[in-house]
C-alpha cells in the first residue's frame, strides 16, 4: 500500500515497519529504539537474528546517539560522503538495542541520500533499515518489487527507482586500519582521494571470479541459476537471460540485454533483471565476465553481488 510522508511518520511512531526509498535499494524501516518494531523487521524479512541491521540517520550529530567515542575519521568520512552510500561500523552505545546489532558490540550507521528518507528520519529519529528483500533474495530497487515480495499490505513510501541499485559500502572503523566489509559505490580509491584515509580493500576481487564462485554465501539469489560467461556466445538460448556489457555488436532481444560498458546503468538494473528473469521463468541468467576492477567504477560491488548470487 502506497503511503505519504505524514502517514509514514505516524506508522513508524506507532511501531510499524515501512518500506522506504534510498539511493541504493529500498529498505524496511523501523524505529531503531523500538525493540518490537525492530523484531518485526527480522520476522518480515525472514532474516536470521544474528545478521545486524544498519541504522539510518539524517545528520552527523546523530552519530552520538548511537556510537561510543566517535573517532575523528568518522566525521571526516561523513563530511566527504554523507548523505551517500557509505555505512560506518563503530562501537555502539549501550542504549542501542542488541537486537539491532545481532548481539555485536558495534553498530553500522549511514545517512541515505534520498530526500524522502532524510525528511522521514528528521521527524522520527534514527531508523533501522535492512534491504527490503526477503532474506537471501535480490534487493528491491523500485516500489513494485516490494509489492511482488510482500503483497499489498506493506506500507510503502514510493520514492521512484533507486539511482545506484546496489547496497552501500560497509566500512569497519573499529579495526586499526579501516576495512571494507562489503563493497559498494564508494571504493577504497574514492575514500583515499577525498579524505587521504587508507582503508583495507574487500578481499575477493574480480580476477578470482571463475576460480572461486564460492558456496558459503546465500544472498541476492534469484530462482534462475546465475552463471558467468567468458565470451559472448555465437547463438543465444531462448530459455536463458543474458546480461552483456562489452561493446561487441550482437543481436539483442527481450532476454539479451546490452550495457556497452555502462556499469553504472548495469548496477542500477541488476536486481530488476534478476526479478524480470524469474518473472518470465528463465532457467539461467548468464552474465558476461566483468573486466578488471582497475579504473572501473562499481566493478568490485557488481562482482561481489553477482558472485554471491552464483554461489
Give residues in contact with ligand TXA (CB under 6 A). 22, 24-25, 27, 51-54, 85, 87, 89, 101, 104, 106-108, 112, 129-131, 167-168, 170, 181-182
Calpha distance 180→175 (Å, rounded): 11
Contacts of 146 (CB under 8 A, 6+ apart): 19, 26, 132, 140, 154, 156
- Continuous segment of H or E residues that includes residue 219: none
Q: Reduced to 3 states, what is the DSSP secondary structure of residue 191?
A: helix
The least distance separating Mg ion from the CB of residue 141, rounded to whole angstroms, comes to 12
Helices then strands (H, E): number in the chain? 9, 12
Residue 124 interacts with, from ligand TXA, Mg ion, none (CB under 5-8 Å by kind):
none
Residue 203 or 210: the one with the smaller Cβ distance to ligand TXA is 203
Closest CA to 288 of 206, 221, 166, 177: 206
Q: What are phi and psi of 56, to 5 degrees?
A: -105, 130
Q: Is 131 in the site for Mg ion (CB under 5 A)?
A: yes
CA distances from 111 to 9, 173, 253 (A): 18, 16, 39
The least distance separating ligand TXA from the CB of residue 54, rounded to whole angstroms, comes to 5
Residue 206 interacts with, from Mg ion, ligand TXA, none (CB under 5-8 Å by kind):
none
Residue 131 or 255: the one with the smaller Cβ distance to Mg ion is 131
Q: Is 307 in the site for Mg ion (CB under 5 A)?
A: no
The least distance separating ligand TXA from the CB of residue 236, rounded to whole angstroms, comes to 33
Residue 24 or 255: the one with the smaller Cβ distance to Mg ion is 24
Interface segment toward Mg ion; rule CB under 5 A; list 113-121, 127-135, 284-292, 301-309: 127-135
Amino acid at each position: 500500500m502506497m503511503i505519504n510522508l505524514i502517514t509514514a511518520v505516524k506508522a513508524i511512531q506507532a511501531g510499524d515497519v515501512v518500506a522506504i526509498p534510498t539511493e541504493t535499494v529500498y529498505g524496511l524501516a523501523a524505529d531503531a529504539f523500538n525493540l518490537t518494531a525492530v523484531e518485526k523487521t527480522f520476522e518480515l524479512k525472514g532474516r536470521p537474528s544474528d545478521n545486524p541491521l544498519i541504522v539510518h540517520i539524517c545528520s552527523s550529530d546523530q552519530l552520538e546517539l548511537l556510537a561510543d567515542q566517535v573517532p575523528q575519521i568518522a566525521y571526516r568520512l561523513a563530511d566527504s560522503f554523507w548523505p551517500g552510500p557509505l555505512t560506518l561500523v563503530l562501537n555502539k552505545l549501550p542504549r542501542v538495542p542488541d537486537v539491532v546489532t545481532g548481539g555485536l558490540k558495534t553498530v553500522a550507521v549511514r545517512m541515505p541520500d534520498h530526500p524522502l528518507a532524510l525528511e522521514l528520519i528528521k521527524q522520527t529519529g534514527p531508523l533501522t533499515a535492512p534491504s527490503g528483500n526477503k532474506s537471501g533474495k535480490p534487493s528491491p530497487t523500485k516500489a513494485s518489487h516490494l509489492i511482488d515480495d510482500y503483497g499489498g499490505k506493506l506500507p510503502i513510501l514510493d520514492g521512484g527507482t533507486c539511482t545506484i541499485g546496489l547496497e552501500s559500502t560497509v566500512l569497519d572503523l573499529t579495526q586499526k586500519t579501516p576495512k571494507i566489509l562489503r563493497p559498494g559505490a564508494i571504493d577504497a580509491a574514492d575514500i583515499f582521494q577525498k579524505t587521504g584515509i587508507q582503508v583495507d580493500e574487500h578481499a575477493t576481487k574480480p580476477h578470482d571470479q571463475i576460480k572461486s564462485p564460492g558456496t558459503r554465501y546465500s544472498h541476492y539469489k534469484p530462482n534462475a541459476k546465475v552463471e558467468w560467461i567468458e565470451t559472448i556466445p555465437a547463438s543465444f538460448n531462448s530459455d536463458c537471460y543474458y546480461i552483456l556489457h562489452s561493446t561487441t555488436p550482437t543481436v539483442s532481444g527481450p532476454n539479451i540485454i546490452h550495457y556497452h560498458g555502462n556499469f553504472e546503468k548495469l548496477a542500477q538494473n541488476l536486481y530488476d533483471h534478476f526479478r524480470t528473469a524469474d518473472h518470465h521463468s528463465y532457467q539461467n541468467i548468464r552474465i558476461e565476465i566483468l573486466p578488471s576492477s582497475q579504473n572501473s567504477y562499481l566493478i568490485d560491488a557488481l562482482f561481489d553481488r553477482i558472485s554471491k548470487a552464483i554461489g
